[in-house]
Amino acid sequence: MVAAQSQLTAVAVFCASSTGDRPELISLARDLGEHLASQNITTIFGGSDAGLMGVVADAALSRGGHVIGVYPENTFSRDVRHRGDIELRLVSSMHERKSAMFELADAAVALPGGLGTLDEVVELLLWTRLGIHQVPLVLLDVATFWNNFIAFLDDAVSYGLLNADFRNSLERVTDASLVIEVLDQLTKRRT
């Protein structure tokens, strides 16, 4: 049986501007970029050549993928814009970057990251909850990185502070090759 072709055309990738201390983070980022390109899905990322962001973009480019970088001009003290063969969109702020990435994407994936990644994930979930957009999200994980975040969300549900339907737009996976399949399932849940 042949798997159905995904309806996704563009996926936003949120991740760290560093590579961290674990080699498996780099492997996961590389696998994701290659997988998106192999599925002819545009990779949308933060526009930097640094860290996991650069790894994802470079991997997608290495497989002939289309990559859009959304970079907040004049935000960083040093120039870390990706210089590869990407479509670069300059914006004026971090908020504008998130908004543009959400608008360009059919879905999103978050790799392990720091405060910026957490900010992107929370805002994406909030905007989906408020009905501003409907962008499903996969937390692409190594080991237990996202477990505490998911536990926080589950606690908020158990306290009656968050409606459990947020789970209709969020899943956790540990294999980049499953990302598109899971995003397609999340998209179908909402229709």
Tens of pLDDT, residue by residue over 3-16, are: 567 889 999 999 99
The pair of three-digit structure tokens given for residue 160, joined into one six-digit string: 């009656």
Residue 113 lies in a domain: yes
Residue 78 has a pLDDT of: 61
Domain count, the chain: 1
State the Cα–Cα distance between residues 58 and 54, nearest whole angstrom: 6
Q: What percent of the chain has pLDDT over 70?
A: 95
Residue 151 lies in a domain: yes
Dihedral sign (CA 70, 72, 76, 82): positive
**22: CATH:** 3.40.50.450
Residue 3 has a pLDDT of: 53
Q: What is the mean pLDDT of residues 61-71?
A: 96
Please, what is the average pLDDT of the chain? 91
pTM over 0.75: yes
Residue 120 has a pLDDT of: 95
Tens of pLDDT, residue by residue over 13-40, are: 999 999 999 999 999 999 999 999 999 9
Asked whether the predicted pLDDT for residue 191 surpasses 80, the reply is no
**pLDDT confidence of 129, banded at 50, 70, 90?**
confident
State the Cα–Cα distance between residues 30 and 15, nearest whole angstrom: 12
Q: What is the mean pLDDT of residues 79-84?
A: 77
Q: What is the mean pLDDT of residues 124-153?
A: 92
- 62 membership: H or E segment, kind and range: helix 51-62
Asked whether the predicted pLDDT for residue 167 surpasses 90, the reply is no
Residue 139 lies in a domain: yes
Please give the DSSP secondary-structure letter assigned to residue 135: -
Residue 181 lies in a domain: yes
Please give the DSSP secondary-structure letter assigned to residue 92: S
49: helix, coil or strand?
A: coil
Give me the domain span that covers residue 127: 10-189
Residue 3 lies in a domain: no
Tens of pLDDT, residue by residue over 94-109, are: 999 999 999 999 999 9
Angle between helices 94-104 and 115-129 (to 10 degrees): 50
